[in-house]
């Protein structure tokens, strides 16, 4: 495995590769990322993982500073997973000067996560576009854990006619259901036990919809209240259409439940896709 830190060296290394699959990350590699890498191997003989903590997508400077940076450990895991190249640029490589050309995502970027993290998706799409331009992969792999991110990246790739196929990978969960995330390491032992409640709240929404309940507002409210009762500070629990992230409409059979809430200082997000047997009545 090669670790490359400059754009020029990366371009030289990849010049003769015909099929490259890229897994963009911010490091702190865990089993969820390794699942993305495994998927990447199915799509190309050359797998590149980018490890770059992107300052542009953090709306809280403290979040950026405290983001876990574990590069040596990351490299050991990525090497064991058969990654061919790790691209680990400095901030100066990606932003040699103040970034004034910014991707402006559509209004959905100001809803759900975007409502609580202003500017996050502008920063995320800007760096993803840059990374795709730098690596020029045929395939890029993203996790469904960040469902809204995946939606926005797919839309950007389609609207800007980027020559890359976006592949989505299911969320990897601990045996008790907690979605794997770099932030889980901040949970105390007691909070770790409590943390599955978000997953369970989404599972309850799924069960209710599958049982024919179509009172979306009441279901969202109940999920929110059930978390708040156990000390969570809830940002949102929302049922949406999976392809547009807009509110469900009569006749829909496919939904996604999305949630974000803070347990102590740790903000967790999760989502669950739902396929209902019966169409929606009157929401
Ligand atoms: O999902 C992430 O880790 C980041 O948002 C990404 C896609 C690597 C862009 O910085």
Mutate-to-test residue for ligand 1 from 22, 25, 30, highest number of ligand atoms within 8 A of CB: 25
CATH of domain 182-275: 3.30.1300.10
What is the C-alpha to C-alpha distance for residues 34 and 130, in angstroms, rounded to an integer?
A: 23
- Region 253-269 average pLDDT: 97
In the numeric block, which tokens belong to residue 62? 């403290």
Which is the catalytic residue, given 30, 33, 43, 88? 33
What is the C-alpha to C-alpha distance for residues 152 and 62, in angstroms, rounded to an integer?
A: 25
Pocket of ligand 1 (CB under 6 A): 24-26, 54, 57, 124, 127-128, 146, 149
What is the per-residue pLDDT across 102-125, written as a single tens digit (0 to 9) for each?
Answer: 999 999 999 999 999 999 999 999
Average pLDDT, the chain: 96
Sign of the CA dihedral with 34 first, then 168, 203, and 196 last: positive
What is the C-alpha to C-alpha distance for residues 87 and 34, in angstroms, rounded to an integer?
A: 16
Contact 69, 28 (CB under 8 A): yes
Distance in Å, CA 124 to ligand 1 centroid: 6
What is the C-alpha to C-alpha distance for residues 131 and 125, in angstroms, rounded to an integer?
A: 10
CATH class, range 2-169: alpha beta
Note whether 2-169 and 182-275 share their fold.
Answer: no
Domain boundaries, given as residue ranges, for the chain:
2-169, 182-275
Quick check: is 33 catalytic? yes
* pLDDT value of position 162: 98
- Asked if pLDDT for residue 256 goes beyond 80, the answer is yes
What is the per-residue pLDDT across 201-239, written as a single tens digit (0 to 9) for each?
Answer: 999 999 999 999 999 999 999 999 999 999 999 999 999
What is the per-residue pLDDT across 93-105, written as a single tens digit (0 to 9) for each?
Answer: 999 999 999 999 9
Minimum CA distance residue for ligand 1 atom 6: 25
The H or E element that residue 262 is part of is strand 254-263
Alpha carbon 33 to its chain's center: 10
Distance in Å, CA 204 to ligand 1 centroid: 29
What is the per-residue pLDDT across 171-191, written as a single tens digit (0 to 9) for each?
Answer: 999 999 999 999 999 999 999
- What count of Cα atoms within 13 Å lies in the side-chain half-sphere of residue 214? 16
Bridge-based pairing state of the strands 46-51 and 85-87: parallel
Mutate-to-test residue for ligand 1 from 53, 54, 67, highest number of ligand atoms within 8 A of CB: 54
What is the per-residue pLDDT across 22-40, written as a single tens digit (0 to 9) for each?
Answer: 999 999 999 999 999 999 9
- Report the chain's C-alpha Rg in angstroms: 19
What is the C-alpha to C-alpha distance for residues 154 and 148, in angstroms, rounded to an integer?
A: 10
3-state secondary structure of 115: helix
Minimum CA distance residue for ligand 1 atom 9: 124
Which is higher by pLDDT, 21 or 250?
21
Contact 167, 141 (CB under 8 A): yes
Grade residue 283 by pLDDT with cuts at 50, 70 and 90. very low
The H or E element that residue 237 is part of is strand 233-240
* pLDDT value of position 279: 61
- Region 250-275 average pLDDT: 96
* pLDDT value of position 277: 83
Distance in Å, CA 34 to ligand 1 centroid: 14
């Amino acid at each position: 495995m090669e670790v490359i830190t400059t754009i020029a060296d990366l371009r030289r290394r990849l010049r003769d590769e015909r099929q490259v699959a890229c897994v963009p990350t911010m490091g702190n590699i865990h089993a969820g990322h390794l699942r993305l890498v495994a998927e990447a191997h199915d799509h190309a003989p050359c797998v590149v993982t980018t490890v770059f903590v992107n300052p542009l997508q953090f709306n809280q400077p403290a979040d950026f500073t405290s983001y876990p940076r574990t590069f040596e450990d990351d490299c050991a895991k990525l090497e064991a997973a058969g990654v061919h190249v790790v691209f680990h640029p400095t901030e100066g490589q990606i932003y040699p000067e103040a970034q004034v050309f910014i991707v402006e995502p559509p209004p959905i970027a100001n809803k759900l996560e975007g409502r609580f993290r202003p500017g996050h998706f502008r920063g995320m799409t800007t760096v993803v576009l840059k990374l795709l331009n730098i690596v020029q992969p045929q395939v890029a792999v993203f996790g469904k854990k960040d469902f809204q991110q995946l939606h926005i990246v797919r839309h950007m790739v389609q609207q800007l006619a980027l020559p890359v196929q976006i592949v989505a990978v299911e969320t990897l969960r601990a045996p008790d259901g907690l979605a794997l995330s770099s932030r889980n390491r901040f949970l105390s032992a007691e909070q770790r036990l409590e943390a599955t409640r978000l997953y369970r709240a989404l599972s309850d929404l799924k069960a209710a919809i599958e049982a024919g309940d179509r009172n979306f507002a009441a279901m969202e409210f109940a999920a929110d209240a059930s978390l708040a009762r156990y000390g969570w500070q809830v940002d949102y629990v929302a049922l949406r259409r999976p392809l547009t992230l807009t509110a469900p409409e009569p006749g829909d059979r496919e939904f996604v439940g999305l949630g974000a809430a803070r347990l102590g200082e740790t903000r967790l997000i999760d989502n669950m896709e739902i396929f209902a047997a019966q169409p929606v009545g009157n929401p």
